[in-house]
Structure 1
Amino acid sequence: MNFIQPSLPGVFTHNPNQPIDGSLWTIKAEITLYALLPFALFFMKRKPLTTWFIIYLISCLWFWFFIHVYTGAKADALAKQFVGLSGYFFFGTLLSVHQASFDKLKEIAIVSLIAYFLTKDTQLSLFVEPVAFSSVVLLFCTSMFKEVPIGKYGDFSYGIYLYHWPIIQLLIHFGVYEANPLLGVALTIMLTLLLAVLSWNLLESRFLKRKSTPNITIKPTIV
């Protein structure tokens, strides 16, 4: 529920956005979607296109309702909860279980991206975005850049996700972006990568190793 109170009193209060780490809002959505995955997968293996279309439609209608109909508090935040994001998430699930859709990924990406640019300034774009954005990202990951050895030196993705926001907030707080925006961007990239590398090597990889090594306790036999 961090979208209700994402900041602390006196911390970054003069920044345009006050959250200490605004990226964390995605965690609850990710956990919920992963928890729903086995149930969606059960139906998707039997009727992949029908199941995905139902999820996609519910997702789009949820997002559309809170953006264009609902006028209460936190409308934008409510729109981006797990229901509104399920259209993106389960598109990847569809590709993993439905080979025919995966084989047409390039065509889906091109057509949906054209449709997105044609509808970008209309309400219809909300119904195109889940397919357009998801298909383009997945096309890059599974086709164009699949041979790039990004993970050769470690998995820095979580560190980048976790640390970039606080670094940006600190640089804004100390006036770096206001003085020189390009310097702010350069420092953000360098400091984020540095912290991500340190985090992976000093913290994350060590915990993963501990997790993968089971603790075997030998209980004495009582005769």
Structure 2
Amino acid sequence: MGSSQSSKMLFRTNNFDLLRLFAASQVAILHSLHIMDVSVTSFVQSALGLLYMFPGVPIFFFVSGFLISKSFESNSQLEDYASNRILRLFPALILAVTLSFILIFASGYAFETDAGFVDWAMLYIAKISVIQFYNPEFMRAYGDGVLNGSLWTITVELQFYVLVPVIYAAFRLRDDNNWRLILLILIFFGINRAVSAVPYELQSEIAYKLVKVSFLPWFYMFLVGVFFQRNFDRFHKILAGRFIYLLPCYLIVGLIAVQQNANFGNNVNPLFFALLAPLIFSFAYSFPTLAQRTTRGNDFSYGIYIYHMPVINCMVYLGLTGSFAFALTAMFLTLAIAITSWFVVERNCLKLKNHPFNPIYKKAKAW
């Protein structure tokens, strides 16, 4: 087997399914406990503090940059590229939005508002299209006040997907030289810092809110994933199999940072994202075949991410809050829906993907 073929085999043997599952669960767990106003013991609070140090959304953005860039490089036909992205995102997204509407009407909330058919139709269309961040005033009294607050990242991801072919063409990222990609990372890192420096009193302005749901503050995280993918052999040689050594180092630095009130949320402090990125890569390529043996090719992560808020919001509206048992119930219901969605909708749609990575794609050539 040649070195190129060996490298490709190493690339494909990874734990990214487990990473996405962890990231989605991290977001869902913290949302359930916070939004459902659950009081926890000091021990659980300490455990949550550790969980907080591994922010789900930045992990998603890094993994997305890593995998989507490789996917595009392997099949850069725009028709295939677009259809593959649509097949992954939109079938389950439409189902999640429909579930939200069913729960809103079943709970009786819809009949307590002054919203008419056009208002509900506009909301539904917005949520299943490309403006998931849209949220009208009549939703403010339901759940946490947003139909499904997690969906804002779908808008951002869609922008990432559109930008990948653009930056590959404009900056010739297929070349071996890294300087163009590093320059892009630095530019968007600077934008992230500028957005983060906006005074609190200006953060209610519509312009600021629109920038926050654009690719601008988050694109550097995605591009760092692209950078790791473009330099896979180098990073694999340094980081593969070393997760158990890197994790304690990250935790020590993180625990010190927590004492200094460092931000580990969506807009994680860039210093810690610089530490988190190699940790993500290291886990992906440590413990070979771990994901394959545990998930067996099933990916419930997207479902957990998009279905947990409809469940939580409905329970909050019905007054089922303040108890750890309610939060646990929300997580079990979310998992049940996510599993059903995977086997009934998502997996069947993914079989239609026209891509060499797809094991069902019979036309794929060895790569």
Same topology, TM > 0.5: yes
Q: Give, as a single letter, the amino acid of the residue that structure 2 aligns with 1:34.
A: Y
What is the aligned counterpart of 1:147 among 290, 293, 297? 290
Cα distance between partner residues in 1 of 2:246 and 2:183: 18
User: Alpha carbons of 1:159 and 1:18: their partners in 2 closer, same or farther (altered >3 Å)?
Assistant: same
What is the aligned counterpart of 1:92 among 221, 225, 235? 225
Cα distance between partner residues in 1 of 2:162 and 2:252: 33
Residue matched to 1:59:
188
Q: Partner of 1:83: helix, strand, or coil? A: coil
TM-score (norm 2): 0.48
User: Alpha carbons of 1:205 and 1:100: their partners in 2 closer, same or farther (altered >3 Å)?
Assistant: closer
User: Alpha carbons of 1:159 and 1:186: their partners in 2 closer, same or farther (altered >3 Å)?
Assistant: same
Q: Give, as a single letter, the amino acid of the residue that structure 1 aligns with 2:335.
A: L
Residue matched to 1:6:
135
**Cα distance per residue 1:180-216 (max 9 Å; x no partner):** 1x112211221111101111122222333355699xx
What is the aligned counterpart of 1:128 among 271, 274, 277? 271
Pairing of 1:105-184 with structure 2 (within 5 A) = 105=239, 121=261, 126-144=269-287, 146-148=289-291, 149-152=293-296, 154-178=298-322, 180=323, 182-184=324-326
User: Alpha carbons of 1:153 and 1:92: their partners in 2 closer, same or farther (altered >3 Å)?
Assistant: closer
- How many residue pairs match? The answer is 207
TM-score (norm 1): 0.74
Deviation, structure 1 residue 163: 0.4
Q: 1:42 aligned to 2:175? A: no
Cα distance between partner residues in 1 of 2:336 and 2:247: 34
Q: Partner of 1:104: helix, strand, or coil? A: helix
Cα distance between partner residues in 2 of 1:201 and 1:14: 30
Deviation, structure 1 residue 166: 0.9
Cα distance between partner residues in 2 of 1:51 and 1:130: 21
Residue matched to 1:209:
351
Question: Identity across aligned pairs (percent)?
Answer: 21
User: Alpha carbons of 1:82 and 1:206: their partners in 2 closer, same or farther (altered >3 Å)?
Assistant: same
Q: 1:25 aligned to 2:169? A: no
Deviation, structure 1 residue 88: 1.5
Cα distance between partner residues in 2 of 1:55 and 1:187: 44
Give the gaps of 5 or more residues in structure 1.
215-223
With 169-178 and 150-159 compared, the bigger mean Cα shift is at 150-159
Cα distance between partner residues in 2 of 1:81 and 1:174: 33
Give the gaps of 5 or more residues in structure 2.
1-130, 355-359, 362-367
Residue matched to 2:211:
78
User: Alpha carbons of 1:81 and 1:189: their partners in 2 closer, same or farther (altered >3 Å)?
Assistant: same
Deviation, structure 1 residue 77: 5.8
Residue 142 of structure 2 contacts residue 313 of structure 2 at CA under 8 Å; is this kept in 1? Answer: no
User: Alpha carbons of 1:7 and 1:164: their partners in 2 closer, same or farther (altered >3 Å)?
Assistant: farther
Residue 8 of structure 1 contacts residue 20 of structure 1 at CA under 8 Å; is this kept in 2? Answer: no
Residue 63 of structure 1 contacts residue 79 of structure 1 at CA under 8 Å; is this kept in 2? Answer: no
Q: Give, as a single letter, the amino acid of the residue that structure 1 aligns with 2:195.
A: F
With 157-166 and 38-47 compared, the bigger mean Cα shift is at 38-47
Point out which structure has higher relative CO (alpha carbons under 8 A, 6+ apart). Answer: 2
What is the aligned counterpart of 1:200 among 326, 342, 361? 342
**Cα distance per residue 1:18-37 (max 9 Å; x no partner):** 11111211112112212322
